[in-house]
Amino acid sequence: MEAAGLCSYGASKQRIRRIAAILEEMYGVPPARREDPLDALVETVLSQNTSDVNSGRAFRSLKERFPSWEAVRAAGVHEVADAIRSGGLADVKAARIQRILERLHRERGSTSLDFLERLGTRGAQDYLVSLEGVGPKTAACTLLFGCGLPVFPVDTHVLRVARRLGLISGRCGAEAAHEAMASMVPPELVYPLHVNMIAHGRRRCRPQRPRCDGCLLALECVLGKENALE
Ligand code: SF4
């Protein structure tokens, strides 16, 4: 467990709202997205350690190959791995997905996550992270995209952008960053801010040589201000 003490943060709600508004000016209002919770969970498991393009292809292939999650559970692990081959780590992910489906089937009597919404946000988070291979980011994506709950997922793009903006300290790891963002971001901004921070991280605030020239967030940004002084 990561030490939350290493993660200093403390942006005001006002500052978060300002950043969200600037990002909206840059990338627009994200279209609403809502999917089946189990779809969202499997999609996020498939996205671990690979690109969105590859994981998206693997997810579509899995859905095309099998008519239901129950059919994925009952299939041979090699069949599942073959269906998701394009997503990388296919054997590991196939076994992981099947163990999750098996546990749902055993404990809940059906391969569905529809019961999550009845557990409340904290209960649903606790249940999800108790599943094998499911950490805070996968749980948060499932709850945000699958249940419409305001839980902020922190992926590699969000972590980088949040550090550069000084929302969290540079020593703050992904796990503590989830707690930090949860405490800072008003519920109605969780979805649009998450989606637009990812867009920003991909298009402009890239890991190497971020395009700070002309970035509307430069005045909010620790790194942007340093670059402007050079
Ligand atoms: S100014 Fe540069 S480092 Fe800061 S948010 Fe914009 S692109 Fe990222």
Domain boundaries, the chain: 4-31+152-229, 37-147
Q: CATH fold of 37-147, please?
A: Endonuclease III; domain 1 (1.10.340)
Helix (H, G, I), strand (E, B) or coil at 225: helix
Confidence of residue 1 (pLDDT cuts 50, 70, 90): very low
Please indicate whether residue 157, judged by its CB atom, sits closer than 6 Å to ligand 1: no
Per-residue pLDDT at 2 exceeds 70: no
Please indicate whether residue 164, judged by its CB atom, sits closer than 6 Å to ligand 1: yes
- The model's pLDDT over 156-214, given as tens digits with 9 standing for 90+, comes to 999 999 999 999 988 888 889 999 999 999 999 999 999 999 999 999 999 999 999 99
pTM reported for the whole predicted model: 0.90
Please indicate whether residue 201, judged by its CB atom, sits closer than 6 Å to ligand 1: no
Please indicate whether residue 223, judged by its CB atom, sits closer than 6 Å to ligand 1: yes
CA of 221 to the centre of ligand 1 (A): 6
Per-residue pLDDT at 41 exceeds 90: yes
Confidence of residue 229 (pLDDT cuts 50, 70, 90): low
Nearest atom, ligand 1, residue 215 CA: 6
Determine the pLDDT at residue 33: 84
Q: What is the pLDDT averaged over residues 57-61?
A: 95
Confidence of residue 37 (pLDDT cuts 50, 70, 90): very high
Does residue 169 contact residue 162 with C-beta atoms inside 8 Å? no
Q: What is the pLDDT averaged over residues 150-159?
A: 95
Q: What is the pLDDT averaged over residues 205-225?
A: 90
DSSP classification of residue 9: B
Element (H, E) at 175: helix 174-184
Determine the pLDDT at residue 3: 43
- Closest residue by Cα to residue 193 from 22, 56, 40, 75: 22
Q: What percentage of residues in the chain have a pLDDT greater than 90?
A: 79
Choose the residue to mutate in 15, 157, 164 for probing ligand 1, maximizing ligand atoms within 8 Å of C-beta. 164
Give CATH for domain 4-31+152-229. 1.10.1670.10
- Closest residue by Cα to residue 59 from 32, 36, 40, 31: 40
Rounded (10°) angle between helices 187-203 and 156-164: 90
Could you give the residue numbers annotated as active site? 137
Please indicate whether residue 215, judged by its CB atom, sits closer than 6 Å to ligand 1: yes
